[in-house]
């Protein structure tokens, strides 16, 4: 008896439909430096305009936020979240995004779902000036439950070596400005889902108390891209260091930009923590340290600025469309240890 590939659970036709559905969206992200079209075995990108280029790359996913998107049957924004997360990761180091590749995997490929996710990736790339030049769409029966999928992104950016943002120039007395987040972004969803759906017994379409929106709306807000803010600070020569507040929260991410001998003192009363985060803490009586290391608490990026240039930096950020908050300062470390965050 003859057995076909489709009988094993893989539909080549559905894969072709997926590719056809996203071709135009991907082409809109192309710049003149993209040298190959959709369908090549490998993507080619021409690097121009740099004297001593340094390539900065990052790979990431968006974790169990996907479980929320699948439960809500909303697949059009998770791809944009993925791109923005990756863009932020390389831009805090001084790079501008060049190109992006995606990986989408599903047990039984649904071209409508895959196309929606990947079009979101293309939209994120277009908005960030980043070319979506390739990727992989995998159908793997038996590995994922019906309707489930995973997505990952790979970004490459470039900077002049002399313009890298390393944090080496940060000194005690520098001001720490926080840029607001819009929800959980792409971290802490395993705990958030457990608290909201298992402990509090909310449904995906339940209206959350004090939020006046459904759980789906609150949890599926798009991860903010801070590209405009970081680029504006860099061009104004004001940016001494930057930290993307992802997994590990302010506690673990802020020290990643600090040089030896420096700590960060964060004033937790300097901003209003959004209600979603306090609701999650209340539901599970989450310990304070764990809460701070799991969620961003309303701050998506922290930048280090010279105190005497604070006012100028705030004007630059406001012009770029952001509302900076003074969340703390850099202080001299009292212990010979790795940089850390001290909460006031």
Q: Profile the chain (344 residues) by mean pLDDT over runs of 10 residues.
A: 61 68 80 84 90 96 97 97 98 97 94 95 97 93 92 97 96 98 97 98 96 97 98 98 97 97 96 97 97 98 98 98 98 89 94
Domain spans of the chain? 6-163, 175-343
Q: What is the pLDDT of residue 283?
A: 97
Alpha helices in 9-61 (DSSP H): 12-27
Question: For the domain 6-163, what is the CATH code?
Answer: 3.30.1330.10
For residue 201, what are the contacts with CB-CB under 8 A and spacing of at least 6?
Answer: none
Say how far apart CA 308 and CA 314 lie, in whole Å.
12
Instruction: Please enumerate in sequence order all residues whose Cβ is within 8 A of that of 10, keeping only pairs 6 or more positions apart, or say none.
Output: 109, 139, 141
Cα separations (Å) of 29 from 20, 130, 197, 300?
A: 16, 6, 38, 25
Q: Under a CB-based contact definition with an 8 Å cutoff, are residues 246 and 296 in contact?
A: yes
Output the pLDDT for position 1: 65
Residue 12's φ and ψ, nearest 5 degrees, are -65, -35
Q: Collect all residues with Cβ–Cβ distance below 8 Å to 206 and sequence separation of at least 6.
A: 214, 215
pLDDT of residue 36: 84
Determine the pLDDT at residue 70. 97
Which CATH fold would you assign to the domain 175-343? Phosphoribosyl-aminoimidazole Synthetase; Chain A, domain 2 (3.90.650)
């Amino acid at each position: 008896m003859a057995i076909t590939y489709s009988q094993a659970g893989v539909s080549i036709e559905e894969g072709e439909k997926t590719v056809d559905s996203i071709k135009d969206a991907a082409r809109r992200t192309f710049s003149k430096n993209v040298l190959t079209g959709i369908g090549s075995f490998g993507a080619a990108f021409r690097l121009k305009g740099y004297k001593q280029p340094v390539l900065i790359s990052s790979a990431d996913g968006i974790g169990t936020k996907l479980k929320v998107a699948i439960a809500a049957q909303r697949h059009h924004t998770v791809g944009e979240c993925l791109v923005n997360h990756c863009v932020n990761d390389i831009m805090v180091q001084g790079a501008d995004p060049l190109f992006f590749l995606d990986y989408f995997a599903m047990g039984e490929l649904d071209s409508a779902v895959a196309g929606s996710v990947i079009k979101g990736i293309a939209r994120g790339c277009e908005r960030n000036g980043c070319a979506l030049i390739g990727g992989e769409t995998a159908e793997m029966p038996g590995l994922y439950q019906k309707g489930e999928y995973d997505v990952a992104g790979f970004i490459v950016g470039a900077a002049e070596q002399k313009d890298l943002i390393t944090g080496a120039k940060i000194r005690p007395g520098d001001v720490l400005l926080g840029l607001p987040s819009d929800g959980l972004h792409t971290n802490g969803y395993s705990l958030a889902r457990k608290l909201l759906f298992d402990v509090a017994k909310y449904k995906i379409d339940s209206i959350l108390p004090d939020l006046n929106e459904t759980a789906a709306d609150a949890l599926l807000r798009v991860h903010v891209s801070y590209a405009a803010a970081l680029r504006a600070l860099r061009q104004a020569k004001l940016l001494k260091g930057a930290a993307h507040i992802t997994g590990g929260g302010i506690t673990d991410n802020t020290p990643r930009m600090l040089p030896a001998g420096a700590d960060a003192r964060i004033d937790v009363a300097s901003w209003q923590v959004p209600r979603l985060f306090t609701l999650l803490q209340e539901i599970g009586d989450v310990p304070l340290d764990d809460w701070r290391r799991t969620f961003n608490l309303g701050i998506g990026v922290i930048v280090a600025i010279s105190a005497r240039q604070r006012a100028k930096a705030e004007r630059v950020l406001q012009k770029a469309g952001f509302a900076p908050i003074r969340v703390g300062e850099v202080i001299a470390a009292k212990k010979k240890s790795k940089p850390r965050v001290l909460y006031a």
